[in-house]
Amino acid sequence: MVDPAQKHLVIVGGGFAGLYAAKHLKNTNLRITLIDRRNFHLFQPLLYQVATGGLSPGDIAYPLRAVLKGNPRAHVIQDKVVDVLPDQKRVVLREGGELSFDYLLLATGVRHQYFGNEHWSDAAPGLKTIEDALEVRRRILSAFEEAERTEDPERRKYLLRFVIVGAGPTGVELAGALGELAHYTMRRNFRTIDPADAEVILVEGSDRVLPPYAPVLSAKAQRALEKLGVTVMSGTRVTDISSNTITLQRGDGEPESLAAGTVLWAAGVKATAFGRRVAEQTGAETDRAGRIKVTPELTIPGHPYIYVLGDLAHIEQKNGNLVPGVAPAAMQMGKYAAKAVAARLAGKEPAPFRYFDKGSMAVIGRNAAIAQIANLKLSGFPAWMIWAFIHIHFLIEFGNKMVVSMQWGWNYFTRKRGARLITGKFTPNPD
């Protein structure tokens, strides 16, 4: 079945970069193998919606096989790549032996990191996988349930205090969604507590929320958050987190401890162990976060047949800024790699990768978002409309458009969040 003249391209990771590469290689004669530990592509920008009960996992994840079923040369394997042997042009799989390649695209992404305090992870979970999101959802909803049950006002206050560390897009979106949940969605749902009494505190080390945006947009985002009852503590560092306390330091002040029932982590990412292993095996340089420094063609220096794409790649734009770790950049890299490999198969030399910044946006709540598109700065309802339109547009490709847009329409008009389920860690009666 395998044509020996046919070149084999292996993609590791079915995120935006890997999937876009696979889709754009459809018309080449390459044999393609996409390897992912999971059987689905995850639309990570909406993961915070799962964590706050607005969407179900199935709404933002789609089977990789279904996405690629139209390309009979594309083979999907659910497995984990544990090693890359660059000189032998082979990858080692955990379950399925080894696989040789002619071209290799590495797009395994990043994990959240605790900057040397990895022991904080149980007390302050991050948000990268479906399981992370369901665990966060469980914690948030259980806190309200226990607060309704308890008769101790101190404990109630503790349970209804939510601290989110990091005011990048994920932190801001989580805080906004939590604010909406407490102030609108769960209104009249409780009899002992008023969910609007929940304190949502957003902690940020720099001097404002969403630091990469223009200061005027940061200010608008902060105001929108405050309208939803969120307290923004900028210029504040986290010095310790334990299972029920977070210690914060404002500027050069004394560290202060705050009892909080739920602490969520949205403050920084780093490459996985696999990324570090690749760097080791190829002699590639990495940055502080462990991302691999690539050539202008997105390959590893000295290994022109190994591409690194998406969040795992460290590459500068012309203006000296790094290409950001966002979905549009990953999609562009995936598409670029597909075209570059196709060009090389045709004997041509591909042009270097150029990142086209389509702008960036973050959503705070219903009707509230900010967007920065070239010199255009938008906020409020127009920004929210653009945000919703773009996200639904991209979900089309993964086949979930109808459900998500419908669910959103429904949530929008009713402010309902139907997926408010506490699942996992549940043991039925032992008999």
Q: Exactly one of 173, 285, 316, 349 is catalytic; which is it?
A: 173
181-240 residues near a copy of itself, rule: CB under 8 A:
186-192
CB of 282 to a copy of itself, least distance (A): 19
7-66 residues near a copy of itself, rule: CB under 8 A:
37-40, 55-59, 61-63, 65-66
Q: Which residues pair with 111 in a beta bridge?
A: 270
**Number of Cβ atoms within 10 Å of the Cβ of 341:** 23
Question: How many residues interact with a copy of itself (rule CB under 8 A)?
Answer: 68
**Is the Cβ of residue 85 or residue 273 nearer to a copy of itself in the bound state?**
273
Cβ atoms of residues 366 and 28 within 8 Å: no
**Does the annotation count 173 as an active-site position?**
yes
* Chain Cα centroid distance, residue 332: 17
With CB under 8 A as the contact rule, the residue among 46, 124, 141, 269 that binds a copy of itself is 141
259-278 residues near a copy of itself, rule: CB under 8 A:
272-274
Cβ atoms of residues 58 and 402 within 8 Å: no
Determine which helix (DSSP H) or strand (DSSP E) holds 338, and give its type and residue range. Answer: helix 327-345
**Number of Cβ atoms within 10 Å of the Cβ of 54:** 24
Task: Catalogue the E-assigned strands of 6-159.
Answer: 8-12, 31-36, 40-42, 61-63, 74-78, 81-85, 90-93, 98-100, 103-106, 110-112
Q: Which residues pair with 40 in a beta bridge?
A: 63
- Is 72 one of the binding residues for a copy of itself (CB under 8 A)? yes
List the x/- string, 75-114, binding to a copy of itself by CB under 8 A. xxxxx---------------xx--------------x---
Mapping DSSP to helix (H, G, I), strand (E, B) and coil, where does residue 224 land?
A: helix
Report residue 108 as tokens: 């395994």
**Is the Cβ of residue 141 or residue 203 nearer to a copy of itself in the bound state?**
141
Site of interaction with a copy of itself (CB under 8 A): 37-40, 55-59, 61-63, 65-66, 69-70, 72, 74-79, 95-96, 111, 118, 128-131, 134, 141-142, 145-146, 148-149, 186-192, 272-274, 399-400, 402-403, 406-407, 410, 416, 418-424, 426, 428-431
- Catalytic residues, by residue number, are 173
